[in-house]
Amino acid sequence: MKLFVASTRLIALFTTSFHLVNQIRGQEATTTVDATLKLSATNVHWGYFSKTLEPVLTVPSGSIVTVEMATHHACDDWDKMIKGDAGMEDIYHWSTENGQHEDYRGASGGGDGVHILTGPIFVEDAEPGDIIKVEILNLKPRLTPEGKAYGSNAAAWWGFQARLNKTDGEPFYSGSFSSTPDKNDEVITIYEIFDENGQGYAVPAYQFEWPVITDPQGTLRDFIAYPGTCVPHDEHGSTVPSSDVADMGWTKNDTIMYYDDVFRAHIPINYHVGTMGLAPESHDFVDSIPPMPSGGNLDNKRIGIGTTMYYPVEVAGGLISMGDAHAAQGDSELDGTAIETSVTGEFKLTVIKQADFTEAQKILDFPLGETEEEFIVHGFTETDYLETYANNPGDIYGASSIDKAMKNAYTQTRKFIMAEYGLTEAEATTIITTGVDFSMTQLVDGNWGVHSVIPKSIFVEVTDDEIILAESRSGRRTSGITGDAYLALSPETVHWGYFSKTLEPILTVQSGAEVVVEMATHHACDDWDKMIKGDAGMESIFRWTADGKGEEYRGATGGGDGVHILTGPIFVENAEPGDVLKVEILDLVPRVNSEGKAYGSNAAAWWGFQARVNKVNGDPFFSGSFSSTPDKNDEVITIYEIFDENGQGFAVPAYQFEWPVITDPQGTLRDFIAYPGTCVPHDEHGSTIPSSDVTDMGWTKNGTVTYYDDVFRARIPINYHVGTMGLAPESHDFVDSIPPMPSGGNLDNQRIGIGTTMYYPVEVAGGLISMGDAHAAQGDSELDGTAIETSVTGKFRLTLIKKDEFTGAMATLDFPLGETEDAWIVHGFTETDYLATFRDNPGDIYGASNIDKAMKNAYTQTRKFVMAEYGLTEAEATTVITTGVDFSITQLVDGNWGVHSVIPKTIFYEKLFLDTTPAEENLNTPVSVPTEPALPSADVVSSAFFATESLAALFVALIFFVVI
């Protein structure tokens, strides 16, 4: 048996080695490095970009350059990240006798800028107005002489968490910075980086509280401030530190507080470059922290291997520098840093001359990212903070705003796709809303960032032949869904625009029941013929004649203040206030019309986020009488047809139309999208000849409707989900269905689809759950006002969790929680409970919409959840959230705006084998550590190839010996 095990292990090792050899061979066949920049004090500048710097390397366009990058947090643990590495020691040297080898740190030399940047590199023929294209070919960790890799995460005073109270209700203290020299909540987490079956992971090795340090020149540093500060460690756990730091003259006031039993989270590695960019023209020296049009400190985890970046050139040669590499980071970089680590990268630098620009490159005034499958557009609080605050660029630190960053991210995204794909503004807006996701980039760099991720596949325009073929193959399921109970659409089974504890339940079920629920979209009458006609249930709900409406009471007051058609409520037996209702989404299928087709509608409306920014022509967004411009309305409806092609659904715009001036059957003029259930009396257009049903009910319009039948046929992937589902609240008899609340409601999160389980706090007996507002597709933000709204039938399992059965975080639940097989989804809103904040007038939430507050609440909810669910300390939770959790914008249209976090469950699979996974088995083919500082070299290092090939040969021989 031992012989078998040994041979099996050797075979596995040989297989891994063989794979690595082939990998290196493949790189060697296609990559020739033209120059190498090694780490030394000569080759770096610390904390700034500058057009005045002499380049340390000059290369022609098209060159491939190897660049060694040092993390500015390495001296959080000298022994693990610097000791024995000549290049790192050269940069970090700071002693009483010799001072600093790199003594100019920050834009002014006073530490106002922190990143160690390698460069600058002068790219020949790059002139102002050009673009430098940077392809990231490879990123490898920099190992210690022992063959290990480490990184540091600092929960610091500049982190987003420092803007909020801690869990004990106290503010975040940071020594003298917060005028509390005897209190400091800053915590450093040192991570070790491993490789496990080809997947890298970072695992916390230990944490420590920031001590009171005195540097070799005698300056007291009682909070994390000046770049390159070195920590003189004590003996702790199994660690006995060297005397190197103390020997340079660093001292501390007291022993350090360590946490060696830190939770060993399992953070997936994703090497990326935090700071890379070109020198700006406007100032001689600029702080490296706030991002700018020519790049810099973007801190976007997508800027890794396989990504190409495009930077506008402002000075001759571009003068590109890079550094601040990360091993892992969540979207937001919440606590102040990522897992900061030293990395060596390979980059291909190519000049794109103005004469060769594409249409989108002509308008590029931001750093653009591109991968094989998507574009990444960056927006900041200020697109060019150096222009906004030309006299004092540091003022950006007091102006940080997610709201402004989101506005700029949207306008940059709109501008980009209009230019790149030749779209109209209306086409761009609907595509952005239905197919593009917006997420936090970083909330720590002064000029805060929001980015959009634009899938290229949605712009592969659908042809007529594809539509004909897809229609013939669309085997849509319209029946056959069964359960313990079935709720069909009718005026008796729905309520329109509100939740209410006063409603009589239309169905009572036991815990565990599986219920099939038909859900009608409230936008169906944007095109009666395509989404209502011939469907008895839909016609009965949407009927509206001079004699009245099929569903008369619409909205919390009956006046249209609430829009969603909700099926229910359902009473779950034995559900009591304080319990939680668990809702598993088992199936969602489209509701087809009498011709077997499915359609949906997207409304770019007055309540959309796009209405808060000027249009491309500089004018504000007009919306009829709502904007006091009865003769002007920019609201546009896009009708989508939904197809299935080889099992993959996609939605394609069929046509667009401008919202007309309509008069309802009771004689009320409706010149903007307002009252729910308004029906559009269409004209003949394209190949469409509308029925007379809508006009027969008494609907009329002023003039003809403006149509766009040649709309760009985007290919939006289908992702059926439930926009509005929740329980009746206790605080009010009737509440508007639009703003989300603790018991659920209109979350508009595209993740609430098949396979997701939702948990809702119960506030009234039976829970009284209702659902509706189904979507065929939506991007994170639901930007223009709606998703692709469509009618859907869903199957749900309703299970009661009694409060005396709560485990983990369930007892702390005061928000709607989502769960999938792989992740938790935590929701935060502008107001966690707007019904409590605005008890006397809940409608006041519409004037209080704010992304920054939603983000704060999303973070505190996420922190509370992971601490309760996994038993973490606050410091453990903060570092795990920062390095492994993503924050995205849920919706910006529902009054109580939403931000959500996605928490991968795998990061909590505590790593228990730190001592059994040698770092030297890391398969990332790390570069060797230089023994002496070196100047730029054009050498191509191929020793890794020969070493690995020899190792492979040795394995073959060993296997042969063991088997024999």
What is the bridge-based pairing of β-strands 721-727 and 544-545? unpaired
Q: Is the pLDDT of residue 934 over 60?
A: no
Instruction: Say if CB 554 and CB 677 are below 8 A apart.
Output: yes
Phi first, then psi, for residue 732 (nearest 5°) are -135, 150
Instruction: Say if CB 485 and CB 516 are below 8 A apart.
Output: yes
Predicted confidence (pLDDT) per residue in 659-673, tens digit: 999 999 999 999 999
Tokens at 878, concatenated = 């903060």
Average of per-residue pLDDT values in the chain: 91
CA–CA gap between residue 662 and residue 670 (Å, rounded): 5
Mean pLDDT of 419-434: 98
CA atoms 387, 393, 399, 400: torsion sign: positive
Q: Which residue has the tokens 């030399």?
A: 109
Nearest partner of 303 among 365, 380, 361, 368, judged by Cα: 368
Mean pLDDT of 425-454: 98
| Whole-number Cα distances in Å, 581 to 364, 448, 765, 945 | 49, 38, 11, 58
Q: Is the pLDDT of residue 953 over 70?
A: no
Range picked from 841-845, 919-923, 949-953 for highest mean pLDDT: 841-845
Torsion of CA 825, 826, 830, 836, to 10 degrees: 130
Nearest partner of 527 among 392, 690, 298, judged by Cα: 690
Instruction: Say if CB 793 and CB 488 are below 8 A apart.
Output: no
Render the burial of 595-621: b for 16+ CB within 10 Å, e for the rest. Answer: eebbbbbbbbbbbbbbbeeebeeeeeb
Nearest partner of 765 among 503, 488, 565, judged by Cα: 503
Could you list the beta-strand ranges (E) of 355-505: 368-370, 374-380, 437-442, 449-455, 485-487, 494-496, 498-500
Q: Is the pLDDT of residue 701 over 80?
A: yes
Tokens at 889, concatenated = 């914008």
Residue 911: pLDDT band with limits 50, 70, 90: low
Predicted confidence (pLDDT) per residue in 266-302, tens digit: 999 999 999 999 999 999 999 999 999 999 999 999 9
Tokens at 793, concatenated = 């039938």
Phi first, then psi, for residue 795 (nearest 5°) are -120, 125
Q: Which residue has the tokens 């073959």?
A: 956
Nearest partner of 736 among 961, 518, 559, judged by Cα: 559
3-state secondary structure of 823: strand
Res 470: pLDDT: 61
Q: What ranges in 275-422 are assigned the alpha helix state H? A: 359-362, 385-388, 402-421
CA–CA gap between residue 289 and residue 280 (Å, rounded): 14
Phi first, then psi, for residue 135 (nearest 5°) are -95, 125
Mean pLDDT of 851-875: 98
Q: Is the pLDDT of residue 829 over 90?
A: yes
Q: Is the pLDDT of residue 468 over 90?
A: no
Q: Is the pLDDT of residue 458 over 80?
A: yes
Instruction: Say if CB 704 and CB 740 are below 8 A apart.
Output: no
Q: Is the pLDDT of residue 942 over 90?
A: no
Q: Is the pLDDT of residue 254 over 60?
A: yes
3-state secondary structure of 711: coil
Q: Is the pLDDT of residue 742 over 60?
A: yes
Res 925: pLDDT: 40
Torsion of CA 674, 678, 681, 685, to 10 degrees: 60
Question: Any idea what the Cα angle at residue 582 is, between residues 580 and 586, rounded to 5°?
Answer: 170
Res 130: pLDDT: 98
Predicted confidence (pLDDT) per residue in 153-171, tens digit: 999 999 999 999 999 999 9
Predicted confidence (pLDDT) per residue in 31-63, tens digit: 688 999 999 999 999 999 999 999 999 999 999
Q: Is the pLDDT of residue 961 over 90?
A: no
704, with CB counted inside 10 A (0-12, 13-18, 19+), is exposed
Nearest partner of 693 among 554, 535, 563, judged by Cα: 535
Question: Any idea what the Cα angle at residue 877 is, between residues 876 and 879, rounded to 5°?
Answer: 70
Question: Any idea what the Cα angle at residue 420 is, between residues 414 and 422, rounded to 5°?
Answer: 85
Residue 196: pLDDT band with limits 50, 70, 90: confident
For the whole model, what pTM was predicted? 0.92
Residue 646: pLDDT band with limits 50, 70, 90: low
| Whole-number Cα distances in Å, 421 to 232, 358, 415, 416, 459 | 56, 10, 10, 8, 8
Tell me, what DSSP letter sits at residue 753?
A: B
Torsion of CA 279, 282, 283, 288, to 10 degrees: -40
Residue 103: pLDDT band with limits 50, 70, 90: confident
Residue 469: pLDDT band with limits 50, 70, 90: low
Mean pLDDT of 559-574: 97
Mean pLDDT of 613-619: 98
